[in-house]
């Protein structure tokens, strides 16, 4: 009998498969997770091929150790997706496939526990009614435990997850059980199995919800998506408030009802958007037979994320809602993909495997021959151009779904004109904006102030000697965070107390320069007396669940003025917001990044769309020193089409994406010289390749923030008019790059967004 060998992908930088001997009577199927020896470690690998031949002598091959019985093999389609991503983004197959799996499956020592029976606590109706009022307001841990029970599928919380919340959680749960609020049981299901609602539960008895009346444009969009045959990419271009989410819901409902085993994947750009989407989907699909909705994002606890992934992999989850990492989830019965806010840069991973979730979603839809819907009020120029070329079907929602809701009026506040006329401003807030905020407060309406810069001030400086507080580890200024009385680097996390005086000259009159959301929050409290001001940014939402709680306060009407960064600019349906104020937008007008204007326009269109969504007249005030800029004029007309067409014309003339294809080689060294020398050697090696004449190589240059954590960084840009030529060149170039020395690390990014 011929020996059997398996070729295994490992999470290792080498882009190769590793051969192992298989001594078992039944060899594993491709897609099976296995434990194998690698050096002195025992690691998890993914079987990609089973063969009777190996180029490595048999006596030098090591044997497989064990198979993961807890996880059925991944499908051939999923392996093909991982292989495509690895090839296109120039990484090893194992570097794509293994990190896409839950942590519990990447640790061989935990496999046995995944199949063992597990104890759980199930929330009873008496507990659901009594718990909210029985807990003290300041009992944070108790309330977190109670919320975990409520949020858990069918109110069933595993003991392991309870202990993850607090080591003594079981004692509390037993006390609640004694009150008759919970029951304790043992489930024979694997720890990764989804806990389904019990027969006859309220979720399955729920009556179909009352559906809103569709506009003609919405109905046409739903019909087109529902009737799609095979691979069909749709670009759903709808103005803010036009009801794109309703189109998603109706299209998914039709497809899932037609196929009882079908699955849907819905991607959103940020974690803080998942709660409202999940609530909408659960309300709509509560009565759908076999319906199960799970979320996948990095904010989930490890156990919850693993179970949700396994529910998708086993086909029990009908709808998977997640951020960019969900695009690599295993979904054996996938029937439709939706990418909401498809233009958002958050879909591009910036570390490790630098993939675009939107682009992988499109490739996956083509691979599986199914429809994919890309929705946005401000589509990316790449997607808009694809629609212009006829490769995507454009579906347009040109008006808001609520009949009485109209797009807000946009007014520009000329800061130079305000200064010339001697009109007073309050710490960066112009007179017209302050007056508009006070008027909304008097009418009981809400306002939103947008500033895409967190912290109190971007700099702390000394007027006497010119000293500016900088990070000792990075070539960047540190940001002043006044509530914490700290200086913090937003690049490496370095933190220090605010000095009492200038460390260079001893001057005690050091002062903040510029404004962040913390400073605007402080200013508004005094400029608009009596207003309830709330700030939402990355600093105020560090704890799990805090963002959802803050947004709930806004929706409940407990906030008069909301201050925030891009976290509040998109996707949120604020019913009572009638005014949006935009601060400091000019900084992006003259950026060295050719995508800056596209991002600014999308950002301003999105944040403007938060106003006037429920019939209240909406108004947007943009403070600017350049009121004649073409971007602001297009914004005032809500003219995305005109902006996109003119910007695409500029890109075509300048030979920029989407008319060329780019890759970026970054190098990090102990000195800037070392990084630049490495890149110059790489460029010289590339010039000697046969395909060099089909690519353009630019000079090696330092990054804008050249030093982070004492490491110096530089980049080399490569581009070509042919995607195939660029890919072929990169594949041939990588082996040469691995032979070059002198830097700490390097990485190659395909289709970079930040240059």
Alpha carbons within 13 A on the beta-carbon side of 293 = 24
User: With helix as H, strand as E and coil as C, how does 281-350 read?
Assistant: HHHHHCCCCCCCEEEECCCCCHHHHHHHHHHHHHCCCCEEEECHHHHHCCCCCEEEEEEECCCCHHHECC
What radius of gyration do the chain's Cα atoms show? 28
H or E stretch covering 573: none
C-alpha distances (whole Å) from 343 to each of 375, 471, 594, 600 are 8, 33, 15, 12
pLDDT tens readout for residues 510-539: 999 999 999 999 999 999 999 999 999 988
The answer, yes or no, to whether residue 195 has pLDDT greater than 80, is no
Q: Quick one: pLDDT at residue 205?
A: 43
- What's the rounded Cα separation, in Å, for the pair 518 and 523? 9
Q: Quick one: pLDDT at residue 241?
A: 87
pLDDT category of residue 196 using cuts at 50, 70 and 90: very low
pLDDT tens readout for residues 566-579: 888 877 878 899 99
Confidence (pTM):
0.88
pLDDT tens readout for residues 128-162: 888 877 788 777 788 888 888 877 656 678 777 78
Per-residue DSSP letters for 412-468? EEEHHHHHHTT---BTTB-HHHHHHHHHHHHTT-EEEEE-S--SSBSEEEETTT--B
Q: Quick one: pLDDT at residue 608?
A: 92
Q: Quick one: pLDDT at residue 203?
A: 42
The answer, yes or no, to whether residue 453 has pLDDT greater than 80, is yes
The answer, yes or no, to whether residue 25 has pLDDT greater than 70, is yes
- In sequence order, what are the residues at sequence separation of 6 or more whose Cβ sits closer than 8 angstroms to the Cβ of residue 138? none
Mean pLDDT (the chain, rounded) = 89
Q: Residue 237 is encoded by which pair of tokens?
A: 């271009």
Q: Quick one: pLDDT at residue 201?
A: 41
Closest CA to 287 of 204, 198, 211: 204
Compute the average pLDDT of residues 19-24.
Answer: 89
The answer, yes or no, to whether residue 190 has pLDDT greater than 80, is no
* Residue 499 DSSP class: P
Q: Quick one: pLDDT at residue 723?
A: 95
Given a contact cutoff of 8 angstroms between Cβ atoms, the answer to whether 324 and 270 are in contact is no
Q: Residue 149 is encoded by which pair of tokens?
A: 């029970």
Q: Quick one: pLDDT at residue 209?
A: 72
Largest CA distance in the chain: 94
- What's the rounded Cα separation, in Å, for the pair 84 and 46? 16
- In sequence order, what are the residues at sequence separation of 6 or more whose Cβ sits closer than 8 angstroms to the Cβ of residue 199? none
Q: Quick one: pLDDT at residue 651?
A: 96
Compute the average pLDDT of residues 626-650.
Answer: 95
Compute the average pLDDT of residues 597-616.
Answer: 89
Compute the average pLDDT of residues 39-54.
Answer: 91
Closest CA to 577 of 636, 536, 626, 623: 536
pLDDT category of residue 422 using cuts at 50, 70 and 90: confident
Angle 280-282-285 from CA coordinates, rounded to 5°: 105
pLDDT tens readout for residues 75-110: 999 999 999 999 999 999 999 999 999 988 998 888
pLDDT tens readout for residues 465-492: 999 999 999 999 999 999 889 999 999 9
Q: Quick one: pLDDT at residue 202?
A: 41
Compute the average pLDDT of residues 398-422.
Answer: 87
The answer, yes or no, to whether residue 373 has pLDDT greater than 80, is yes
Of 214-218, 492-496, 690-694, least confident by mean pLDDT is 690-694
- With a pLDDT cut of 90, the percent of the chain lying above it is 62
- What's the rounded Cα separation, in Å, for the pair 159 and 751? 44
Q: Residue 234 is encoded by which pair of tokens?
A: 């749709």
Of 338-347, 419-428, 720-729, least confident by mean pLDDT is 419-428
Q: Quick one: pLDDT at residue 23?
A: 85
Alpha carbons within 13 A on the beta-carbon side of 446 = 25
| Cβ burial, residue 171 (10 Å; 0-12/13-18/19+) | exposed
Angle 431-436-438 from CA coordinates, rounded to 5°: 95
Q: Quick one: pLDDT at residue 1?
A: 54
Give CA 190 to chain center in angstroms. Answer: 30
Count other Cβ atoms within 10 Å, centred on residue 100: 22
Of 97-106, 330-339, 398-407, 698-707, least confident by mean pLDDT is 398-407
pLDDT category of residue 58 using cuts at 50, 70 and 90: confident
Q: Quick one: pLDDT at residue 197?
A: 41
| Strand ranges for 115-187 from DSSP E | 118-123, 156-158, 182-187
pLDDT tens readout for residues 326-362: 999 999 999 999 999 999 999 999 888 899 999 999 9
pLDDT category of residue 288 using cuts at 50, 70 and 90: low
| Terminal CA-CA length for the chain | 56
The answer, yes or no, to whether residue 246 has pLDDT greater than 70, is yes
Q: Which domains does the chain have, with CATH numbers?
A: 4-112 (3.40.1440.60), 118-187 (no CATH), 214-397 (3.40.50.300), 409-457+514-648 (3.40.50.300), 661-750 (3.30.70.360)
Q: Which residues pair with 104 in a beta bridge?
A: none
C-alpha distances (whole Å) from 239 to each of 244, 245, 373, 633, 732 are 9, 12, 16, 17, 44
pLDDT tens readout for residues 163-181: 778 888 888 899 899 988 8
pLDDT category of residue 210 using cuts at 50, 70 and 90: confident
- What's the rounded Cα separation, in Å, for the pair 602 and 598? 6
Q: Quick one: pLDDT at residue 682?
A: 96
Residue with tokens 């006390």: 175
Q: Quick one: pLDDT at residue 475?
A: 95
């Amino acid at each position: 009998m011929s020996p059997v060998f398996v070729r295994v992908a490992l999470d290792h930088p080498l882009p190769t498969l590793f051969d192992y001997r298989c001594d078992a009577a039944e060899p594993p199927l491709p897609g099976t997770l296995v434990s194998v020896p690698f050096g002195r470690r025992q690691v998890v690998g993914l079987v990609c091929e089973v063969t009777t031949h190996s180029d490595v002598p048999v006596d030098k091959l090591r044997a497989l150790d064990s198979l993961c019985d807890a996880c059925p093999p991944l499908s051939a389609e999923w392996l093909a997706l991982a292989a495509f991503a690895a090839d296109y983004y120039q990484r090893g197959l194992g570097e794509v496939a293994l990190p896409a799996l839950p942590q519990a499956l990447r640790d061989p020592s935990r496999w046995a526990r995944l199949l063992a029976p597990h104890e759980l606590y199930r929330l009873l109706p008496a507990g659901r009614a009594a718990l909210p009022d029985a807990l003290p307001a300041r009992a944070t841990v108790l309330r977190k435990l109670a919320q975990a029970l409520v949020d858990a599928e069918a109110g069933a919380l595993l003991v392991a997850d309870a202990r993850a919340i607090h080591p003594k959680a079981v004692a509390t749960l037993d006390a609640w059980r004694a009150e008759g609020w919970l029951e304790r049981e043992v489930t024979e299901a694997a720890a990764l199995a989804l806990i389904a609602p019990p027969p006859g539960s309220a979720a399955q008895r729920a009556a179909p919800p009352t559906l809103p009346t569709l506009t003609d444009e919405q109905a046409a969009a739903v019909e087109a998506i529902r009737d799609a045959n095979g691979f069909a990419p749709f670009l759903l271009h709808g103005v803010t408030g036009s009801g794109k989410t309703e189109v998603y819901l109706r299209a998914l409902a039709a497809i899932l009802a037609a196929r009882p085993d079908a699955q849907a994947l819905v991607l959103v750009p940020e974690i803080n958007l998942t709660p409202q989407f999940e609530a909408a989907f659960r309300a709509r699909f509560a009565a759908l037979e076999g319906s199960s909705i799970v979320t996948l994002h990095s904010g989930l606890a490890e156990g919850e994320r693993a179970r949700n992934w396994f529910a998708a992999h086993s086909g029990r989850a009908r709808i998977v809602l997640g951020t960019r990492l969900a695009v690599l989830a295993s979904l054996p019965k996938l029937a439709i993909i939706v990418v909401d806010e498809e233009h958002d840069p958050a879909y591009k991973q910036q570390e490790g495997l630098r993939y675009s979730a939107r682009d992988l979603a499109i490739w996956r839809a083509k691979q599986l021959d199914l429809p994919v819907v890309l929705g946005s009020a401000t589509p990316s120029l790449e997607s808009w151009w694809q629609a212009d070329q006829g490769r995507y079907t454009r579906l347009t929602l040109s008006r808001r779904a609520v009949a009485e809701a109209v797009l807000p009026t946009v007014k520009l506040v000329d800061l130079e004109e305000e200064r010339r006329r001697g009109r007073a401003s309050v710490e960066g807030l112009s007179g017209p904006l302050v007056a508009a905020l006070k008027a909304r407060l008097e009418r009981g309406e809400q306002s939103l102030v947008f500033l895409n810069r967190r912290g109190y001030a971007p700099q702390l400086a000394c007027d006497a000697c010119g000293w500016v507080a900088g990070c000792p580890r990075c070539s960047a200024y540190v940001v002043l965070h006044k509530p914490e009385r700290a200086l913090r680097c937003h690049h490496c996390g370095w933190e220090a107390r605010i000095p009492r005086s200038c460390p260079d000259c001893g001057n005690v009159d050091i002062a903040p320069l510029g404004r962040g959301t913390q400073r605007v929050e402080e200013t508004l409290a005094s400029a608009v007396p009596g207003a309830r001001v709330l700030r939402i940014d990355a600093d105020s939402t560090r704890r799990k669940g805090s963002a959802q709680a803050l947004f709930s306060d806004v929706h409940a009407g407990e906030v008069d003025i909301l201050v925030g960064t891009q976290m509040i600019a998109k996707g949120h349906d604020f019913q009572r917001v009638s005014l949006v104020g935009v601060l400091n937008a000019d900084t992006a007008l003259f950026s060295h990044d050719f995508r800056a204007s596209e991002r600014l326009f999308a950002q301003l269109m999105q944040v403007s769309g938060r106003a006037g969504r429920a019939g209240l007249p909406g108004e947007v005030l943009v403070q600017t020193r350049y009121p004649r800029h073409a971007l602001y004029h297009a914004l005032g007309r809500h003219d995305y089409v005109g902006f996109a067409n003119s910007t695409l014309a500029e890109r075509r003339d300048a030979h920029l994406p989407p008319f060329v294809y780019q890759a970026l080689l970054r190098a990090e060294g102990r000195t800037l010289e070392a990084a630049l020398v490495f890149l110059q050697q790489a460029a010289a090696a590339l010039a000697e390749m046969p395909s060099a004449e089909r690519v353009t190589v630019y000079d090696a240059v330092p990054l804008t923030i050249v030093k982070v954590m004492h490491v110096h960084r530089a980049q080399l840009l490569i581009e070509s008019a042919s995607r195939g030529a660029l890919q072929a060149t990169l594949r041939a170039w990588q082996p040469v790059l691995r032979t070059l020395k002198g830097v700490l690390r390097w990485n190659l990014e395909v289709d970079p967004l930040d240059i």
